[in-house]
Amino acid sequence: MKSKKGIIITAIVLAAITAASFTVWMIPQNAPTRFVVSNAQEDLDALMEQQKVVADSATEEFDNMLAGRITPENYVSIAEIYHTQINSFIIKIMDSEIPSEWNGSYSAFLEHLRAYNSYLRESLVAANKLKDNSGADISEQMSKMDQYLAQADEFLSLANSSRP
């Protein structure tokens, strides 16, 4: 169980990430917006840290659901927020102008985010099965989740190893 300070820090970070994701949606759609990245290393490091916070929280909440500390309905609500946050990271990368020497690293991290989003979608399938039947067999979903996490880890390693 997290300490009170840890919960507050996590809540603040998640609130900031959520606010940032809504900012992306509030930008007018009729004018293409490109974010010019002046320091690609800092930008990528920040994205990786934000994604790690989301991933750690998602894992903890999924474990809480499996242990019966939260309901599958609660997990579904939480995981949908995480899914939205990961989508906002994907949009940010796709809408960013980065120095060409960072293309490989950013592309690999983008694939990491996509694989992680697949993990989240599969966790939602598992939660929905448990919502309908608390004794449901989710071993297939757990296996797929492990595969997506392994794939995400491979892309994350590639993102780090391809840094200029």
Cα diameter, the chain? 51
- Is it the case that residue 107 has pLDDT exceeding 90? yes
CATH number at residue 72: 1.20.120
Residues 141 and 137: their CA atoms lie apart, in Å, by: 9
The pLDDT tens digits of the residues spanning 6-44 come to: 666 666 666 666 655 555 555 555 555 555 667 889 999
Confidence band, pLDDT 50/70/90 cuts, at residue 153: very high
Residues 71 and 78: their CA atoms lie apart, in Å, by: 11
Model-level pTM greater than 0.85? no
Average pLDDT value for the chain: 87
The pLDDT tens digits of the residues spanning 35-87 come to: 566 788 999 999 999 999 999 999 999 999 999 999 999 999 999 999 999 99
What is the domain extent for residue 88?
4-161
- Number of structural domains, the chain? 1
